[in-house]
A and B are shown apart, each in its own frame.
Chain A
Amino acid sequence: MSEPEPSGTTPAAPPRRVERTPEEDLKFRNELVASIPALRAFARGLCGDRELADDLAQEALAKAWGARDSYLPDTHFKAWLFRILRNHYYSQGRRAGRMAAWDEELAERTLISLPGQGAAIDLADMQRGLATLPAEQREALLLVGASGLAYEEVAAIAGCAVGTVKSRVARGRQALLKFMNGPAEARPNPDPDKPKKSSEMARAA
């Protein structure tokens, strides 16, 4: 029989192309661009500090570009990118997952009111609360609560079980509520050099 095997193990199958076509590169590049706002927001939530977060986000973008051949087309791009960022964040031991807790600019536009609800939320307060959480709870809250990813996607990003994500979200949420409802004086001021301000002023007003 001189004919090649009809199916499956065709030796003639071309080896997996390593380099992508220019079109694929362009598509990838455009997906990167479209993800920049979300990536920045995730980084900011993770480490709290504007400059650190933007460095982190840029490093993640460069890494993602370098690793684009490992991205499986048509899988969740944002999740893939977030995973690169958070792995980079932890691998850097970025202040051992600690957060700077205080974003001056964000603190300036701090009070938001929820439609249909009397209460207002103090964003700066929430940021300080986030900073008191263990990094993995903060990450879970940000990914599930803020960026709106599914538990399964968050589990893939964080490299843990879905149940673990759920319990991190639940515990983080509880701790955050407790922090925000608690008396302001009882809180640790994460950065003692900087005065407490907008939230207290808003309360006094």
Chain B
Amino acid sequence: MNASGSMLAATALPMSQSREANDADYYQDQSFLGEFVEMPPQPDPISAGLKKLFETVAEEPIPDDFLSLLDQIDAERSARQSGASPDAVKVSAGAKAQ
């Protein structure tokens, strides 16, 4: 409780105490700090794990299936560019070589 904590610090100390003693007491009790001192950034295990999971897959070499799909796309592009009917080449997934 930061509010009541500082209230305590302000009221519980007798007036007779020196300023130095006040400060010493005040700074010794740091139990309240947890409430509002920002903790250093902790690596969050869930985020780190998810990122790692994602990166691990993303760094894999791209399988050949994907490249043949791109070949189809490129064939469709050049067919269109050369004026042939674009329907001559149709890109479809799953036209994998068995």
Contacts and interface: CB of A to CB of B under 8 A. Distances in A.
A173 B77 contact: no
A98 interface: no
Interface residues of A, number: 48
Interface in B56-98: 56-60, 62-63, 65-66, 69-70, 73-74, 76-77, 80-81, 91-94
A29 B47 contact: no
A54 B50 contact: no
Contact of A25 (B52, B53, B80): B80
The prevalent SS among residues of A at the interface is helix
Interface in A11-29: 19, 22, 25-26, 29
Interface string B30-72: 0000000000001101111111111111111011011001100
Q: Pick the most buried of A36, A55, A141, A173: most chain B CB atoms within 10 A of its CB.
A: A36
28 contacts: A22-B81, A25-B77, A25-B80, A33-B70, A37-B57, A38-B54, A40-B60, A40-B62, A41-B55, A41-B57, A54-B65, A54-B66, A55-B93, A57-B66, A58-B65, A58-B93, A59-B94, A62-B93, A106-B56, A112-B52, A116-B43, A119-B45, A123-B49, A123-B53, A123-B56, A142-B50, A146-B54, A177-B45
